[in-house]
Amino acid sequence: MDTVSLNQTFFPVNIRSAPVNFCTGSVSALGFSLPCLKNPATNHGRKLIVTRASIAVEQQTQTKVSLVRIGTRGSPLALAQAYETREKLMATHSELAEEGAIQIVIIKTTGDKILSQPLADIGGKGLFTKEIDEALLNGEIDIAVHSMKDVPTYLPDKMVLPCNLQREDVRDAFISLSAASLAELPAGSIVGTASLRRKSQLLHRYQSLNVLENFRGNVQTRLRKLSEGVVQATLLALAGLKRLNMTENVTSILSIDEMLPAVAQGAIGIACRSSDDIMANYIASLNHEETRLAVACERAFLQTLDGSCRTPIAGYACRDEDGYCIFKGLVASPDGTRVLETSRKGSYDFQDMILMGKDAGKELLSRAGPGFFSS
C-alpha cells in the first residue's frame, strides 16, 4: 500500500467507481454518482452537476524503502496527476513496478491553506509549489509533480524541471445549469472565477455579465457552489475535468480565440534535485518534447512580462499542420477594458521558440506603456 505523509488516517481521492485497486494498494470506497441529465428540456431545463464521492485510502506502515517518493498537493486533481506520473514510471522502469517502489507524499501548500483571500492578495507566485519544492530540496521527496501553470518562471537553486508529460486539452470549459454558452447568459448573471485572465477576457466580450472573484476551491467545491446557486456559471480548465473523468459537467468548450488559455495550461511538470542523476534519468524518460518546447515558449513570454497574479496574462504555443510554431499572447487590464494581443510564427525549435516568446513579451510591454502592469 502506498504510504502517504499526513497527520490523519484518511485522505480523499476522487475516482469513479468502487471498490478499486490502485496498482499495488487496496482501497476501500464508498462511491455514488448523481445523474447528469443531458436533455436541457428535462428537469425544467436544468442539468444536474455530477459530483463524485471521495474514497478513503487507509494509511499503512511502509514495509520497504521506496525508490521514488513523489511529492504532490492533496487535491483530487493533483493526486490524479501524481498517479498518472506513477503509472508512467511503472510502465517505463520495471524496478519501479515492484510493490512499494513508489510512494505518494501529500504536501499542503500555502494556496491550499488560505482559501478566504484572492491569490493575488496572498503573494501570487509559488503559492501551490513552494512547500513542495522545499520538501524536494530538503530530501523529503525525490520528485515533485506540478501543474505547470502554477510553477514560477524562476526555479529554486539546485532544482531542475527536465520533464513535461504530454499536454492535455488547453481550452477552458463553460459550465452552467441555465445557459448553453456565455452569449446566452442573461445580463447581470454572475460568473464565478478566481482567474484574472478569465475575468478580463470575459468582461472584454460580455460587459453585461458580473464576475464573482475569489471563486476558489477544488473542482468539486466549485461545482457544488454552482449547483447551490452561488453563481450562474463558471469556467474551468478542460484538462482538469478530463483528468478527473468529469467532462459530463461541461456545457460548452470555449475556443482559443474566445478565451486564450493560461501559460502552460494543461501541462504537468516533474522536477527533481539537480544533483540527483537517477531521478533526472527516470523522469526524462517520460518527457514529451513537443509539450516541453511549447511550455518553454510560453514561459519565456511570461518571464519577459514579469507577470504576477494581479496581471491578466495568457499565452499559447502549438505546432501547426506544417510543423511550425504558432504563438499567441495577450495582456489585459483586470476589468477587461483594455486587451492587447500579439502572435508569432517560427520554427519548432527550442531556441527559436524562446526568442519568439521573449519578443512577443517585449512587444506587449512596449505597447502597454508605463503603469499598465502596476495599476
Q: Of the residues 2, 133, 142, 150, which is catalytic?
A: 150
Residue 150 known to be catalytic: yes
Cα(273)–Cα(279) distance, integer angstroms: 8
Q: Write the CA distances from 315 to 161, 182, 257, 296, 304, integer angstroms.
A: 20, 21, 11, 11, 12
Q: Contact 22/104 with Cβ under 8 angstroms?
A: no
| Distance between CA atoms of residues 206 and 233, nearest Å | 13
Q: Pick from 73, 69, 106, 75: which is nearest to 89 by CA? A: 69
| Range 137-150 burial, b when 16+ CB lie within 10 A, else e | beeebbbbbbbbbb
Cell representation of residue 166: 504530454
Walk across the sheet containing 313-319 and list its strands.
313-319, 324-332, 339-347
Stretch (H or E) spanning 106: strand 102-106
Grid cell 454572475 in the structure block, residue: 190
Residues labelled catalytic: 150
